Amino acid sequence: FADDDNTYSLELFEEMRYTRRVSVWPVAFVGGLRYESPKVSPAGKVVGWKTVFDPNRPFAIDMAGFAISIKLILEKPQASFKLEGVKGGYQETSLLKDLVTMDGLEPKAANCTKVLVWHTRTERPALVNEGKRGFTDPRAEV
C-alpha cells in the first residue's frame, strides 16, 4: 500500500519480493513516534506491536508497514479493506484479519530492527523565496 506521503528504501522492495503471505516491518514518523514496529521474538515470530495507539489491536500496524502476496489475495477473495463501519485505526486490521493470523506474519527489515519506510507526508511546498533575486526560471519543469 505505497502512497505519496511515504518514502521507501529500495531495499524494502527487494525484501518484499520474497513475501509468501504477509510480510511486516517498521514505519518511521507515524503515530506521534519516531517509529512504530512489530515486536519480534528471538524465534523470529511477531508477538505484538510497538505502538502507543491501542497496541492491543489485532494488527496494530500502519498501512505502509506490510505487504500481501498476490497469491494470498487470490486465495481469499472474501478479504476486503473496509472503510465504513470500522473504527479509525482499525482499517489495517479489517483487511489483515481476513488473510492471516499473527503466527503467519513474516518479519522483514532484519527482524523489524531496521526502518525502511518513513511517513514523510507530501505537502504543498512553501516557496517563500521564489522570484527573489531572479535566479529561478519559471519555465523550468520541476
Of the candidates 15, 36, 92, 106, the residue annotated as catalytic is: 92
Note if 36 is an active site residue.
no
Least Cα distance to 21 among 112, 79, 100, 107 occurs for 100
Rounded to an integer, what distance in angstroms lies between the CA atom of residue 55 and that of residue 60?
Answer: 6
Rounded to an integer, what distance in angstroms lies between the CA atom of residue 62 and that of residue 90?
Answer: 10
Q: Which residues contact 116 (CB under 8 A, 6 or more apart)?
A: 8, 9, 11, 12, 15, 25, 26, 108, 109
- Cite the active site residues: 92
